[in-house]
Structure 1
Amino acid sequence: MGRPKRIVLLRHGESEGNVDETVYEREPDHALSLTRAGRAQAEKAGARLRELFGDERVSAYVSPYRRTHQTFLALGLDPRLVRVREEPRLREQDWGNWQEREDMRRQKAYRDAYGHFFYRFTQGESGADVYDRVGAFLESLWRSFEDPDHPPNVLLVTHGLTMRLFCMRWLHWTVPEFECLSNPGNGDMRALLLGTDGKYHLDRPFERWCTPESYGYTG
């Protein structure tokens, strides 16, 4: 089995929606573009990735959103070394078509009280829904490792919540553990590294805003 030695997860650069909540009232979430700062963040991430990957091959999967496509293009990776595919299952959590700002602020407050994993936005998704489709993608990804000539690197260009849920699914975190984690910043990344024990380990933890509740069991 050609398991990669690293799986890198990258959050898109700053988008229009990150700086102006009212844009969601006029533009579809999937159509929002990077800001100038977001492009600079993507270019900076690209420099780090080019150094990390060197002349090794990369299998890249990109969320179908405009801002993730723009982020990938701004990375400046060598196209001769990269096999890229659009992957809809890595998209952002769906919040439900156009969004009225005050209504979304109320729903975000409800989500904070109810729990980010279980709260479902009106006409949209819960974190649990995203977890399920990320899990389906993970199964497809794992099957791709059956190719003995699989590239030694995987790159996922996606969104903050999706990154956390991918790691939750891969590393078998509990819901309370997930709830205590903060999103990475725009243009930030995490990597699952293949260790000598044959298991993948996160290169550095996500920041926590609280201590996870214990259910009193370990597995």
Structure 2
Amino acid sequence: MPRPRRIVLVRHGESEGNADDSLYERRPDHALALTARGRDQAEATGRELRSLFGDEPVSVYVSPYLRTHETLRIFALDRGRVRIREEPRLREQDWGNLQDPEHVRQQKELRDTYGHFFYRFAQGESGADVYDRVGAFLESLFRSFEEPGHPPNVLLVTHGLTMRLFCMRWFHWTVAEFEALANPGNGEKRVLELGEDDRYTLDKPFERWREPRSYGETD
């Protein structure tokens, strides 16, 4: 089965919710737009992507959130060379509906103790839930590689946690390894590059916020 030469993961630019978490009380998470800074981040990443892809075609999958669609639009990729599909399985981790920021902060503290992979937000999802839908997306992605003339580039415009879980699923990282990693910054990308050995490698590691530990260990 032919496979793309590179798979690029990009986190959306800074959103209004990243800049002011009180907005989650009044507006749906999926409807939050980019800030001016987020648009600048997307423009910078877009220049990198246009240089990376050159004249090659690209298969694009984008989370259905407003901020990811805006980020993709600002990339200004050659529309004649890209195929765009909205992919709900690449959405942000669900944290519930309109949210009390203080309650979310309390839950994030509990998550640090309970575990980022297994902790489920009230009325929302756990990291494990996101992992499952990312795995289902990967099955669809692999099937797409069998299509005649599949582009040599795949671009996913998504969210930080989803990026980490995609790589966890792809590279078979353990839960402990995943939980030690931090999200990439807004507008940052990671590239899975296909080597001569027909295996993918990550161009840049995720930063760690702690050392991996096995379950049963204490701080």
Same fold, TM exceeding 0.5? yes
Which stretch has the larger CA shift, 139-148 or 49-58?
139-148
Q: Say whether residues 1:67 and 2:58 are aligned partners.
A: no
One-letter identity of the residue aligned with 1:56:
E
Which residue is equivalent to 2:125? 125
Which residue is equivalent to 1:95? 95
Question: Structure 1: where are the runs of 5+ without partners?
Answer: none
Which stretch has the larger CA shift, 166-175 or 143-152?
143-152
Query: 1:214: how far off?
Result: 4.7
Which residue is equivalent to 2:151? 151
Query: 1:165: how far off?
Result: 0.1
CA distances 1:11-56 after superposition (whole Å, capped 9, x unpaired): 0000000010100000000000000000010011000000000000
**Distance across 2 between alignment mates of 1:155 and 1:5:** 11
One-letter identity of the residue aligned with 1:10:
V
One-letter identity of the residue aligned with 2:112:
D
**Distance across 1 between alignment mates of 2:79 and 2:101:** 40
Q: Say whether residues 1:198 and 2:198 are aligned partners.
A: yes
- Percent sequence identity over matched residues? 73
CA distances 1:86-143 after superposition (whole Å, capped 9, x unpaired): 0000000000000011111111111111111000000000000000000000010001
**Distance across 2 between alignment mates of 1:81 and 1:156:** 15
**Distance across 1 between alignment mates of 2:214 and 2:6:** 30
Count of residues in correspondence between the two structures:
215
Which stretch has the larger CA shift, 197-206 or 118-127?
197-206
Is the Cα contact below 8 Å between 1:2 and 1:148 reproduced in 2? no
Query: 1:65: how far off?
Result: 0.2
Is the Cα contact below 8 Å between 1:10 and 1:156 reproduced in 2? yes
Q: Secondary structure at the match of 2:181?
A: coil
**Distance across 1 between alignment mates of 2:93 and 2:71:** 18
Q: Secondary structure at the match of 1:2?
A: coil
Is the Cα contact below 8 Å between 1:96 and 1:121 reproduced in 2? yes
**Distance across 2 between alignment mates of 1:3 and 1:105:** 41
**Distance across 2 between alignment mates of 1:4 and 1:201:** 13
One-letter identity of the residue aligned with 2:127:
G
Is the Cα contact below 8 Å between 1:2 and 1:147 reproduced in 2? no
Is the Cα contact below 8 Å between 1:2 and 1:149 reproduced in 2? no
Q: Say whether residues 1:53 and 2:24 are aligned partners.
A: no
Which residue is equivalent to 1:112? 112
Which residue is equivalent to 2:31? 31
**Distance across 1 between alignment mates of 2:204 and 2:37:** 25
**Distance across 2 between alignment mates of 1:106 and 1:204:** 32
State the TM-score, normalized to the length of structure 2.
0.97
CA RMSD of aligned residues (A): 0.8
One-letter identity of the residue aligned with 2:137:
F
**Distance across 2 between alignment mates of 1:120 and 1:189:** 26
Which stretch has the larger CA shift, 30-39 or 100-109?
100-109
Q: Secondary structure at the match of 1:8?
A: strand
Q: Say whether residues 1:174 and 2:140 are aligned partners.
A: no
Q: Say whether residues 1:2 and 2:2 are aligned partners.
A: yes
Q: Secondary structure at the match of 2:193?
A: strand
**Distance across 2 between alignment mates of 1:6 and 1:168:** 17
Query: 1:148: how far off?
Result: 3.7
Query: 1:2: how far off?
Result: 2.8
